[in-house]
Amino acid sequence: MVIPVADLTIPRVLPNQIAGEDCLAADGQTVSKKSPHDGSEICQVARSKASDIARAIAAAKAAQPAWAALTVVRRGEILRATAQLMQQHRQALAAIVALETGKSLKDALGETDAAIEMGFFVAGEGRRFYGRTTTSAVADRQAMTVRQPIGVAGLIIAANTPIANVAWKAFPALLCGNGAVMKPSEDTPITAWACALLLREAGLPAGVYSNVNGFGDEAGAPLVESADVDVVSFTGSTGVGRWIAATCGRRLAKVCLELGGKNPFIVCDDADLDKAVTFALASAFSNAGQRCASGSRLLVFDAVYDEFKHRLVDAAKKLAIGPGDADYYGAVINEKQLNNMLEAINAARNAGATIVSGGTRLDDPAHRNGYYLAPTIIENASRTAEITANELFGPITCLYRVQGFEDALAFADASPFGLTSAIHTRYVNRAMTFLQRIKAGVASVNGGTFGSEPHLPFGGLRQSGTGWREAGTEALDVYSEWKTVYINYNPQGV
């Protein structure tokens, strides 16, 4: 069956896109892509293996020198044309995102618009692409730095915000003059397929960018292991990130990892509780909690704990769950993830924690065929418990009672992660001290733990990543190398 989605049509078997051509996996194998909303099959997807990845890498390696030889302004123009096509097809792209993730069309449109803005921002960097000129201690010598491409980029993305994830990696990798091979999540292959179509339509030369579908161990691993891949950029779990770092380290390949988070959301005794509850709900439950920036640890001062808990639980129980625009969040991405979350909740309960809201799969007629988890709030978990330490990537958050600012800050920084953070307070001295001392890549005052803008860098410390940043001008540092240039001249020779 061919499924029409506005002006983009999803084929019954979703192909790879290698060297400018649509193709199935070399061995013809496919895998079913199911709807998170009701479990029905959307399409079959090419199940690629090492030979398919090798073909895509070879195409990127062959096409990269000519692509790099174009001016960066010209490369930016092609990316701008891509962003314009995305804008033209935004309704169709958002429909695809909503279909394969189970989120609402409203949320999918917001994500699509963010990807478009990233495209325009990165394209604009083609008119800047700044190096620097500086002085030299040697007479009659000019010194400067310029960016140069790395070669072939292997891009591996998660399923939570599929079109934004494509934009965050593909646009800067291509602007810097690299060839690229995208391996999207097996849970969201259709969005990446649609974006690759638009890149091709915008005039990207054949071979420069390939989109290859498949599982991580069958398609992602060969991409990471290839000696012809010069930089690997991965968004996903910390466990997989460790393996990628070790694998790339053995051949000294550059690697950018954007990994997990167990992000603290601190509520002080002088906080605006209505605002704090609103942002806590959004941090914990928007996008079904499937954010590395999710607010999964709510650290609340003892003086306001009971009141905040009452308001939060009351608000969470009123949230509408489903794929509609009036719903707060939709399904989680697949049944395996849902079952993992339920097991983690049950383990927390057995370890002494209390489930104060949710904790169950929704099994009413509107939800029973999909992968829906009720908004879950847990308290009384130990600060050293497994659920306190590990990222769950779902609509689950834990409440913790803290005795004051120093206790909250110490507990916030006790996590092995260090991605995002937030504090709610009216006291400027407390807010500024938090911003200076919190060990996180992103810190927010009176806001949420999530939310990023295309011109600002995003990334974390410790087990949240390798120190590189995505988005912003800083993303160019991931996909380019610096070259120092000296020009010696003779003033007497004019």
In this predicted structure, the answer to whether residue 82 has a pLDDT above a threshold of 60 is: yes
Alpha helices (H) in 186-329, listed in sequence order? 189-201, 221-225, 238-250, 273-285, 302-317
In this predicted structure, the answer to whether residue 271 has a pLDDT above a threshold of 50 is: yes
Q: Domains in the chain, please, with CATH?
A: 3-259+465-483 (3.40.605.10), 264-445 (3.40.309.10)
Note the pLDDT of residue 285.
Answer: 98
Average pLDDT over residues 140-152: 97
| Active-site residue, from 258, 379, 391, 470 | 258
Phi and psi torsions of 57, nearest 5°: -65, -45
In this predicted structure, the answer to whether residue 5 has a pLDDT above a threshold of 80 is: no
Q: Which residue has the tokens 């609103």?
A: 278
User: pLDDT, tens digit, for every residue of 36-69?
Assistant: 999 999 999 999 999 999 999 999 999 999 999 9
Active site residue 292: yes
Instruction: Count other Cβ atoms within 10 Å, centred on residue 455.
Output: 14
Note the pLDDT of residue 1.
Answer: 29
In this predicted structure, the answer to whether residue 284 has a pLDDT above a threshold of 50 is: yes
Active site residue 41: no
Q: Which residue has the tokens 């709610």?
A: 424
Q: How far apart are CA 85 and CA 18, in angstroms?
A: 21
User: pLDDT, tens digit, for every residue of 170-185?
Assistant: 999 999 999 999 999 9
Q: Which residue has the tokens 């001249």?
A: 489
In this predicted structure, the answer to whether residue 205 has a pLDDT above a threshold of 90 is: yes
Q: Which residue has the tokens 């330490």?
A: 389
Q: Quick one: what percent of the chain has pLDDT higher than 90?
A: 97
Note the pLDDT of residue 9.
Answer: 87
Average pLDDT over residues 16-29: 96
Residue whose C-alpha is closest to residue 240's, from 218, 217, 222, 263 = 217
Note the pLDDT of residue 77.
Answer: 98
Q: Which residue has the tokens 């709807």?
A: 35
Note the pLDDT of residue 493.
Answer: 83
Answer for the pair 116, 164: CB distance below 8 angstroms, yes or no: no
Average pLDDT over residues 267-295: 97
User: pLDDT, tens digit, for every residue of 348-405?
Assistant: 999 999 999 999 999 999 999 999 999 999 999 999 999 999 999 999 999 999 999 9
Local confidence band at 494 (pLDDT 50, 70, 90 cut-offs): confident
Strands 30-34 and 41-46 come out as antiparallel
Answer for the pair 420, 434: CB distance below 8 angstroms, yes or no: no
User: pLDDT, tens digit, for every residue of 424-448?
Assistant: 999 999 999 999 999 999 999 999 9
Local confidence band at 8 (pLDDT 50, 70, 90 cut-offs): confident
* Helix axes of 273-285 and 302-317: crossing angle, nearest 10 degrees: 60
Q: Which residue has the tokens 């179509």?
A: 197
User: pLDDT, tens digit, for every residue of 288-327?
Assistant: 999 999 999 999 999 999 999 999 999 999 999 999 999 9
Note the pLDDT of residue 322.
Answer: 97
| Active-site residue, from 43, 256, 268, 292 | 292
Residue 19 is encoded by which pair of tokens?
């060297």
